[in-house]
Amino acid sequence: MSSFGFWVLTYISLLNKLTTAESPIETPLTENPVNWNYYNQADWPETHCINGRRQAPIQIIESNTTPVNYEDLQFSDEFSKSYKASILNEDYTVAVILDDKSLEPQISGGGLEDSYTFIVFQFRWPSEHVVNAIRYPLELVMIFYNSKYGSLMDAVPHEDGFLNVVSFYNTSSNDNPIFDNLINSVPQVKNKLRTPVPLKDEITLADFLPKNKEKFYRYHGSVTKPYCDEIITFLVFPETSCISDTQYGALKNIMDQQNKTVSFNNRELQNPHDRPIYKKTKN
Protein backbone atom coordinates (compact mmCIF):
# COMPACT_ATOMS: atom_id res chain seq x y z
CA MET A 1 0.00 0.00 0.00
CA SER A 2 1.25 3.50 -0.81
CA SER A 3 1.79 5.94 2.03
CA PHE A 4 -1.15 7.95 0.71
CA GLY A 5 -3.33 4.86 1.00
CA PHE A 6 -2.08 4.56 4.57
CA TRP A 7 -2.90 8.23 5.16
CA VAL A 8 -6.45 7.61 3.91
CA LEU A 9 -6.89 4.64 6.26
CA THR A 10 -5.61 6.83 9.08
CA TYR A 11 -8.29 9.42 8.42
CA ILE A 12 -11.02 6.79 8.09
CA SER A 13 -9.96 5.47 11.50
CA LEU A 14 -9.82 8.98 12.91
CA LEU A 15 -13.29 9.89 11.65
CA ASN A 16 -14.76 6.73 13.12
CA LYS A 17 -13.17 7.45 16.50
CA LEU A 18 -14.30 11.07 16.52
CA THR A 19 -17.86 10.03 15.80
CA THR A 20 -18.07 7.50 18.62
CA ALA A 21 -15.84 9.09 21.27
CA GLU A 22 -17.53 10.77 24.22
CA SER A 23 -14.28 12.38 25.36
CA PRO A 24 -11.02 13.50 23.69
CA ILE A 25 -9.15 10.63 22.07
CA GLU A 26 -6.11 9.56 24.06
CA THR A 27 -4.77 6.77 21.83
CA PRO A 28 -2.60 8.06 18.98
CA LEU A 29 -3.07 6.59 15.53
CA THR A 30 -0.52 4.20 14.04
CA GLU A 31 2.62 5.86 12.72
CA ASN A 32 3.25 6.14 9.00
CA PRO A 33 5.57 3.21 8.09
CA VAL A 34 7.36 5.12 5.32
CA ASN A 35 10.72 6.46 6.47
CA TRP A 36 11.08 9.94 4.98
CA ASN A 37 11.74 13.54 5.94
CA TYR A 38 11.92 16.98 4.35
CA TYR A 39 15.68 17.35 4.94
CA ASN A 40 16.69 14.61 2.48
CA GLN A 41 14.14 14.83 -0.31
CA ALA A 42 16.56 13.39 -2.86
CA ASP A 43 16.31 10.12 -0.92
CA TRP A 44 12.56 9.81 -1.34
CA PRO A 45 11.37 6.64 -3.16
CA GLU A 46 12.07 6.63 -6.89
CA THR A 47 8.55 5.46 -7.75
CA HIS A 48 6.77 8.70 -8.70
CA CYS A 49 8.73 10.92 -6.27
CA ILE A 50 11.89 10.90 -8.39
CA ASN A 51 10.70 9.53 -11.73
CA GLY A 52 7.16 10.92 -11.93
CA ARG A 53 6.16 13.32 -14.70
CA ARG A 54 3.25 15.01 -12.90
CA GLN A 55 4.75 15.87 -9.56
CA ALA A 56 3.81 18.72 -7.22
CA PRO A 57 4.36 21.42 -6.14
CA ILE A 58 5.28 23.58 -9.11
CA GLN A 59 5.94 27.23 -9.80
CA ILE A 60 3.01 28.94 -11.53
CA ILE A 61 3.92 31.74 -13.90
CA GLU A 62 0.77 33.51 -15.06
CA SER A 63 2.17 34.30 -18.49
CA ASN A 64 2.63 30.55 -19.04
CA THR A 65 -0.94 29.62 -18.12
CA THR A 66 -3.84 28.91 -20.47
CA PRO A 67 -6.94 31.08 -19.89
CA VAL A 68 -10.16 29.06 -19.73
CA ASN A 69 -13.69 30.32 -19.31
CA TYR A 70 -14.64 27.94 -16.50
CA GLU A 71 -17.95 28.34 -14.72
CA ASP A 72 -17.83 29.59 -11.13
CA LEU A 73 -16.95 27.22 -8.32
CA GLN A 74 -19.88 25.97 -6.28
CA PHE A 75 -19.58 25.35 -2.54
CA SER A 76 -22.24 23.41 -0.64
CA ASP A 77 -24.09 25.01 2.27
CA GLU A 78 -21.86 23.23 4.79
CA PHE A 79 -19.02 25.62 3.96
CA SER A 80 -20.90 28.57 5.45
CA LYS A 81 -22.07 26.81 8.62
CA SER A 82 -20.17 26.29 11.88
CA TYR A 83 -19.23 22.84 13.15
CA LYS A 84 -17.23 21.19 15.90
CA ALA A 85 -13.73 20.29 14.80
CA SER A 86 -10.47 18.87 16.12
CA ILE A 87 -6.83 19.76 15.60
CA LEU A 88 -3.97 17.28 15.39
CA ASN A 89 -0.22 17.12 14.92
CA GLU A 90 0.41 14.86 11.93
CA ASP A 91 4.15 14.68 12.67
CA TYR A 92 4.92 17.03 9.78
CA THR A 93 2.04 19.54 9.90
CA VAL A 94 -0.98 20.85 11.79
CA ALA A 95 -4.31 19.54 10.51
CA VAL A 96 -7.95 20.33 11.24
CA ILE A 97 -10.78 17.87 10.73
CA LEU A 98 -14.54 18.07 11.27
CA ASP A 99 -15.73 15.88 14.14
CA ASP A 100 -18.98 14.70 12.53
CA LYS A 101 -18.19 12.27 9.72
CA SER A 102 -21.76 12.51 8.40
CA LEU A 103 -21.01 16.05 7.20
CA GLU A 104 -20.03 16.21 3.54
CA PRO A 105 -19.02 19.72 2.48
CA GLN A 106 -18.63 19.56 -1.29
CA ILE A 107 -17.09 21.64 -4.05
CA SER A 108 -17.96 21.47 -7.74
CA GLY A 109 -17.92 23.62 -10.87
CA GLY A 110 -14.84 25.52 -11.99
CA GLY A 111 -14.28 23.02 -14.79
CA LEU A 112 -14.28 20.05 -12.43
CA GLU A 113 -16.10 17.09 -13.96
CA ASP A 114 -17.26 15.83 -10.58
CA SER A 115 -18.03 17.06 -7.09
CA TYR A 116 -15.44 16.57 -4.34
CA THR A 117 -16.03 15.94 -0.62
CA PHE A 118 -14.00 17.65 2.10
CA ILE A 119 -11.64 15.56 4.27
CA VAL A 120 -9.24 17.84 6.15
CA PHE A 121 -7.20 21.00 5.89
CA GLN A 122 -3.48 21.28 6.59
CA PHE A 123 -0.71 23.87 6.52
CA ARG A 124 2.69 24.16 4.84
CA TRP A 125 5.36 26.61 5.97
CA PRO A 126 6.65 28.17 3.83
CA SER A 127 4.32 27.63 0.90
CA GLU A 128 4.97 24.70 -1.39
CA HIS A 129 3.64 26.44 -4.48
CA VAL A 130 5.32 29.52 -5.87
CA VAL A 131 3.23 32.00 -7.88
CA ASN A 132 4.93 34.50 -10.18
CA ALA A 133 8.24 33.97 -8.32
CA ILE A 134 6.66 34.59 -4.90
CA ARG A 135 6.85 31.99 -2.16
CA TYR A 136 4.47 32.86 0.68
CA PRO A 137 5.11 32.25 4.40
CA LEU A 138 2.09 29.95 4.76
CA GLU A 139 0.00 27.70 2.52
CA LEU A 140 -3.36 26.26 3.55
CA VAL A 141 -4.42 23.09 1.74
CA MET A 142 -7.99 21.79 1.84
CA ILE A 143 -8.08 18.15 0.76
CA PHE A 144 -11.12 16.56 -0.91
CA TYR A 145 -11.89 13.17 -2.43
CA ASN A 146 -13.89 12.60 -5.62
CA SER A 147 -17.47 11.98 -4.49
CA LYS A 148 -18.27 9.63 -7.37
CA TYR A 149 -16.01 6.95 -5.86
CA GLY A 150 -18.08 6.85 -2.68
CA SER A 151 -15.25 6.82 -0.14
CA LEU A 152 -11.72 8.02 0.54
CA MET A 153 -10.20 4.59 0.08
CA ASP A 154 -12.00 3.86 -3.18
CA ALA A 155 -10.73 7.16 -4.61
CA VAL A 156 -7.04 6.30 -4.09
CA PRO A 157 -6.41 4.27 -7.30
CA HIS A 158 -7.77 6.98 -9.60
CA GLU A 159 -5.96 9.89 -11.26
CA ASP A 160 -8.96 12.13 -10.53
CA GLY A 161 -9.36 10.76 -7.01
CA PHE A 162 -8.49 13.89 -5.03
CA LEU A 163 -8.63 17.67 -5.15
CA ASN A 164 -6.34 20.00 -3.20
CA VAL A 165 -7.59 23.57 -2.81
CA VAL A 166 -4.66 25.87 -2.04
CA SER A 167 -4.64 29.37 -0.56
CA PHE A 168 -1.81 31.57 0.73
CA TYR A 169 -1.11 33.76 3.75
CA ASN A 170 1.27 36.66 4.19
CA THR A 171 2.36 37.75 7.66
CA SER A 172 1.59 41.11 9.23
CA SER A 173 1.57 42.80 12.63
CA ASN A 174 -2.17 42.23 13.09
CA ASP A 175 -3.73 39.03 14.40
CA ASN A 176 -6.26 37.22 12.22
CA PRO A 177 -9.13 36.33 14.60
CA ILE A 178 -10.07 33.33 12.47
CA PHE A 179 -6.85 31.66 13.64
CA ASP A 180 -7.26 32.30 17.37
CA ASN A 181 -9.25 29.10 17.88
CA LEU A 182 -6.52 27.01 16.24
CA ILE A 183 -3.57 28.82 17.79
CA ASN A 184 -4.95 28.41 21.29
CA SER A 185 -5.06 24.62 20.84
CA VAL A 186 -1.65 24.08 19.19
CA PRO A 187 0.15 23.71 22.58
CA GLN A 188 -2.12 20.74 23.37
CA VAL A 189 -0.92 18.85 20.29
CA LYS A 190 2.66 20.11 20.19
CA ASN A 191 4.07 16.76 21.40
CA LYS A 192 1.02 14.55 20.70
CA LEU A 193 1.42 12.87 17.34
CA ARG A 194 -1.81 11.99 15.52
CA THR A 195 -3.89 12.52 18.64
CA PRO A 196 -6.84 14.82 17.85
CA VAL A 197 -7.84 17.48 20.36
CA PRO A 198 -11.26 19.16 20.10
CA LEU A 199 -11.14 22.87 19.33
CA LYS A 200 -12.82 25.08 21.92
CA ASP A 201 -14.98 26.87 19.35
CA GLU A 202 -16.70 25.70 16.20
CA ILE A 203 -15.15 26.54 12.83
CA THR A 204 -16.57 27.69 9.50
CA LEU A 205 -14.70 26.34 6.49
CA ALA A 206 -15.52 29.38 4.34
CA ASP A 207 -13.51 31.54 6.75
CA PHE A 208 -10.34 29.78 5.59
CA LEU A 209 -10.92 30.47 1.90
CA PRO A 210 -10.01 33.75 0.15
CA LYS A 211 -12.78 36.26 -0.55
CA ASN A 212 -12.05 36.20 -4.27
CA LYS A 213 -12.75 32.70 -5.51
CA GLU A 214 -13.39 33.76 -9.09
CA LYS A 215 -9.73 33.57 -10.11
CA PHE A 216 -7.70 30.40 -9.71
CA TYR A 217 -5.14 28.17 -11.40
CA ARG A 218 -5.65 24.47 -12.00
CA TYR A 219 -3.29 21.63 -12.90
CA HIS A 220 -2.83 17.91 -12.37
CA GLY A 221 -0.17 16.89 -9.85
CA SER A 222 0.73 14.59 -7.02
CA VAL A 223 0.74 14.08 -3.30
CA THR A 224 3.64 16.19 -1.99
CA LYS A 225 5.09 13.49 0.26
CA PRO A 226 6.11 9.87 -0.39
CA TYR A 227 5.06 7.96 -2.37
CA CYS A 228 3.98 11.05 -4.33
CA ASP A 229 0.99 9.38 -5.99
CA GLU A 230 -0.10 11.32 -9.10
CA ILE A 231 -3.79 11.48 -8.19
CA ILE A 232 -4.31 15.12 -7.23
CA THR A 233 -6.02 17.95 -9.10
CA PHE A 234 -4.72 21.24 -7.71
CA LEU A 235 -6.85 24.37 -7.55
CA VAL A 236 -4.72 27.33 -6.47
CA PHE A 237 -6.16 30.69 -5.42
CA PRO A 238 -3.69 33.56 -6.00
CA GLU A 239 -5.44 36.01 -3.65
CA THR A 240 -3.72 36.12 -0.27
CA SER A 241 -4.95 36.57 3.29
CA CYS A 242 -2.91 37.54 6.36
CA ILE A 243 -1.84 36.04 9.66
CA SER A 244 0.23 37.86 12.26
CA ASP A 245 3.90 37.08 12.82
CA THR A 246 3.01 35.94 16.34
CA GLN A 247 0.26 33.61 15.14
CA TYR A 248 2.51 32.27 12.40
CA GLY A 249 5.19 31.36 14.93
CA ALA A 250 2.67 29.74 17.26
CA LEU A 251 1.08 27.65 14.49
CA LYS A 252 4.45 26.17 13.53
CA ASN A 253 5.37 25.27 17.10
CA ILE A 254 4.95 21.49 16.87
CA MET A 255 7.38 18.61 17.30
CA ASP A 256 7.88 15.63 14.98
CA GLN A 257 8.41 12.00 15.99
CA GLN A 258 12.13 12.68 16.45
CA ASN A 259 11.13 15.35 18.98
CA LYS A 260 12.43 18.09 16.69
CA THR A 261 10.63 21.31 15.87
CA VAL A 262 9.04 21.22 12.42
CA SER A 263 10.93 24.24 11.08
CA PHE A 264 9.69 23.72 7.52
CA ASN A 265 7.41 21.24 5.78
CA ASN A 266 7.38 22.17 2.13
CA ARG A 267 8.48 19.94 -0.71
CA GLU A 268 10.93 21.34 -3.24
CA LEU A 269 9.54 22.65 -6.54
CA GLN A 270 9.08 20.01 -9.23
CA ASN A 271 9.56 20.09 -12.99
CA PRO A 272 6.22 20.88 -14.67
CA HIS A 273 7.22 18.80 -17.75
CA ASP A 274 5.10 20.92 -20.11
CA ARG A 275 1.92 20.16 -18.20
CA PRO A 276 -0.95 22.54 -19.02
CA ILE A 277 -1.72 25.02 -16.22
CA TYR A 278 -5.14 26.56 -16.62
CA LYS A 279 -6.22 29.99 -15.39
CA LYS A 280 -9.78 30.90 -14.55
CA THR A 281 -10.49 34.62 -14.27
CA LYS A 282 -13.60 36.56 -13.42
CA ASN A 283 -16.32 36.17 -16.07
pLDDT of residue 45: 87
Alpha-carbon distance 159 to 95, whole Å? Answer: 24
Tell me, what DSSP letter sits at residue 41?
Answer: G
pTM for this prediction: 0.91
- Other residues' Cβ atoms within 10 Å of the Cβ of residue 70: 18
Rounded Cα distance between 240 and 150, Å, is 33
Contact at 8 Å (CB) between 266 and 123?
no
Q: Are 91 and 80 in contact (CB under 8 A)?
A: no
Matching CATH number, 3-280, of 3.30.365.10, 3.30.70.360, 3.10.200.10, 3.40.30.10: 3.10.200.10
For the chain, which residues make up each domain, given as ranges?
3-280
Give the count of beta carbons closer than 10 Å to the beta carbon of residue 19.
11
CA distance 50 to 227: 10
- Report d(CA 250, CA 171) in Å as an integer: 13
Instruction: Tell me how far CA of residue 21 lies from CA of 94, 97, 119, in angstroms.
Output: 21, 15, 19
Residue 264 amino acid letter: F
pLDDT of residue 280: 94
- Upstream peptide bond of 227 is cis (omega within 30 degrees of 0): yes
| pLDDT at residue number 46 | 83
Q: What is the pLDDT along the chain (283 residues), one digit of tens a residue?
A: 555 555 555 555 555 555 444 433 333 333 454 678 999 999 998 888 999 999 999 999 999 999 999 999 999 999 999 999 999 999 999 999 999 989 999 999 999 999 999 999 999 999 999 999 999 999 999 999 999 999 988 998 999 999 999 999 999 999 999 999 999 999 999 999 989 999 999 999 999 999 999 999 999 999 999 989 999 999 999 999 999 999 999 999 999 989 999 999 999 999 999 999 999 987 6
